[in-house]
Chain A
Amino acid sequence: MSLVLRLFRELRFLLRQRAVAGLLVLAMLLSALSVTTGLAEIAHQRMTLERMILADKADRDGALAKAEDWGSAAYSSFHLTYLPPSDLAFAAMGQRDASPWKHRIHMLALEGQIHAADTANPELALAGRIDFAFIVSVLAPLLVILLLHDLRAGERAAGRHDLLIATAGQSGRLWPIRASALIATLAVCLLLPFWVGAALAGTQLAKVLAVSLLVCIHLLFWAAVSYWAGARAAAGSVILTGLIGFWLLLTAILPAITRVSIERAISIPAGGDIVLTQREAVNDAWDLPKNVTMEAFGARHPEWENYTQVSRPFEWKWYYAFQQVGDQTAEALSTTYREGIRERDQAAALAAFSSPPALVDRALQGLAGTDTRAALAYDASVRDFHTRLRTWYYPKLFRDEPFEPAALSALPVYQPRDERD
């Protein structure tokens, strides 16, 4: 009999067992639940973004219409920056819950704006969410364990083991086929809702394939472990206890240890210090002689060195110069802060090799563009955009160009990274 036929025979047979069928249905239901809520959340985020893009434009147009000079235009007009959810974000929310993915910034010191969190309900954030990544990384191993642990022990306890082997001819014709049938069905049960979700979300085929491969590899890892453990001549319940202990170790204990050690080994400056430093610098500037500020500014922007004379008590170019100097003062801290986060993330990427569930979770976040790297890239894109704003306004402010409201239509527009690619 061909392998495929044997696989189907075992499948038909296994599905008639209530416990097996129940677990597979549970897997499919949970996966469907995660995909549905993920899609709903993404739809909500996209709708929010659509509304905000319109509101942002209206608000900016209104503010610009009232502007009397370049300085007040820059002061009163805010620009929405955002990281739209990718076509795979529904499957792995990742850092979108913890790190901000939208800001409204204007041309004041950026350090005072970019750290603002668009706070979500903390108690909901703490509870976590059922996303596909959770199902695959945390739950799927438990399902594999439950399905495979008493593959042999169950038959042994029921007194069928020897008859089965004697009838099948050799154990290689039975256990691997049963295990494969179970794992393949589990994979389908988990992936089917994901495929439907991906079709609805218009996910790139390459990403869908990568996720599917990832899921299969993860299932195979746990299947191998469970198969190996299940071959011991111990009672099924003992094997199950041991396997769940192993799951606990890989899924919770090791990741917790690596997380604590990484956060201890790589310290980052307190975020509050960045904002404090920047604010002190900006506030002090009001009391400092203006040329001190303008010199510090000129050091960074030699092209405007010849335009830094300030004669009146208040001039916009001085105002924006000390905003920039405020950022410059906090630059070292801010860079260390971001570098620290990057280093922690790199260390965590390495450490994740000790925990397949963490590795899978991180990989899914990576594919979905919801990982720390994506959050940092978004942060960088906001900084780029802020620089573009400054580059756009500086010539007008420093050369004291006459105010032309019509020119404001050429203001830089934020392009999210995804769409630029």
Chain B
Amino acid sequence: MREFALSADRLSVKRGGLLALRDVSFDVRAGEVFALLGGNGAGKSTTLLSFLGLLKPEAGEARVLGRPAHEDVTASRRQIAYLPEAATLYPHLSAEENIAYFLSLAGLRRDKTAISAALERVALQPAARTQRMERYSKGMRQKVAIALALLREAPILLLDEPTSGLDPIAIDDFNALIEDLARSGSTVLMVTHDVYGACQVASRIGLLRAGELVGVFDAPVGGRIDTDAVHAAFAGRTAA
């Protein structure tokens, strides 16, 4: 049997006493960019938190590299770099200090050049790197968080609304970065409510609605997913 990087197997998760995910199943292959699309409260973030083992499934399993995420959380989290929604790092530290601190939390050590290279890759202005993050704009904070995720050098990336708050140029840069990562073998699971952004980078899209997976779209070989179809499905005009 072929091993998937991430797989949700009849996953049901409760949050605040209510079922936030109901019987959701999908697999993400290694080196694939999978986007989960859905409106507010559809269960997107819940899915990510389940793979991180931060939420325990009510039924079913969220598996990381074939093993249930909550079984050995430390081991599964080691395989994952996570980019939270509206990522706020510590405002009293600079970008470099934040990155160094979080890396050491993960038990990793990267030298200065590696950190500089990562910040270069996300196009953070060099002047800002040593400034305290309390002065950063939302887009700059997001870039630092992405750089942190890159530096984890984890095989799997979980991204929660990665492009929210970024300007159009930064979004283009980001999309290029994701494609780059996928080419070098990383697995990306991102959640978003941005139909067009998802269609641009994802090889597959899962559509979540009210905690249920209502459809999966595949990209044709060498092409992109049909945006109109996804949009129509998202708006609820057709069932996929």
A residues near B (Cβ < 8 Å) are 1, 9, 13, 16-18, 158-160, 162-170, 173-174
Contacts and interface: CB of A to CB of B under 8 A. Distances in A.
B88 interface: yes
B157 to A, nearest CB: 11
Interface of B: 49, 52, 54, 73-74, 77-78, 80, 82-90, 92-93, 101-102, 104-107, 145, 152
B192 to A, nearest CB: 17
Given A18-B92, A159-B87, A163-B83, 17 more contacts: A1-B104, A13-B101, A159-B85, A159-B86, A160-B84, A160-B88, A160-B89, A162-B52, A162-B54, A162-B84, A164-B105, A167-B77, A167-B82, A167-B106, A169-B73, A170-B77, A174-B105
Contacts of A17: 92
Given A1-B107, A169-B106, A170-B74, A162 B49 contact: yes
Q: Identify whether the interface residues of A are mostly helix, strand, loop, or mixed.
A: helix
B92 to A, nearest CB: 6
Nearest to B76: A169
A163 B92 contact: no
B82 A166 contact: yes
A162 B86 CA distance: 12
Contacts of A16: 92-93
Contacts of B54: 162, 165-166
Given A166-B77, A169-B78, A159 B106 contact: no
A159 to B, nearest CB: 5
Contacts of B105: 164, 167-168, 173-174
A17, A166, A168, A169: residue with the most chain B Cβ atoms closer than 10 Å = A166
A159 B86 CA distance: 8
A158 to B, nearest CB: 5
A13 B86 CA distance: 22
12 contacts: A1-B104, A9-B104, A16-B92, A159-B84, A160-B88, A160-B89, A162-B49, A162-B82, A167-B77, A170-B73, A170-B77, A174-B105
Contact of B80 (A13, A166, A174): A166
B36 to A, nearest CB: 17
Contacts of B49: 162
A80 B187 CA distance: 87
A13, A160, A167, A170: residue with the most chain B Cβ atoms closer than 10 Å = A167
By Cβ-Cβ distance, the 10 closest A-B pairs, closest first, are A169-B74, A166-B82, A168-B105, A163-B84, A166-B52, A159-B88, A167-B105, A167-B106, A170-B74, A169-B77
B73 A158 contact: no
B95 to A, nearest CB: 15
Contacts of B73: 169-170
B76 to A, nearest CB: 9
Contacts of A165: 52, 54
B174 to A, nearest CB: 18
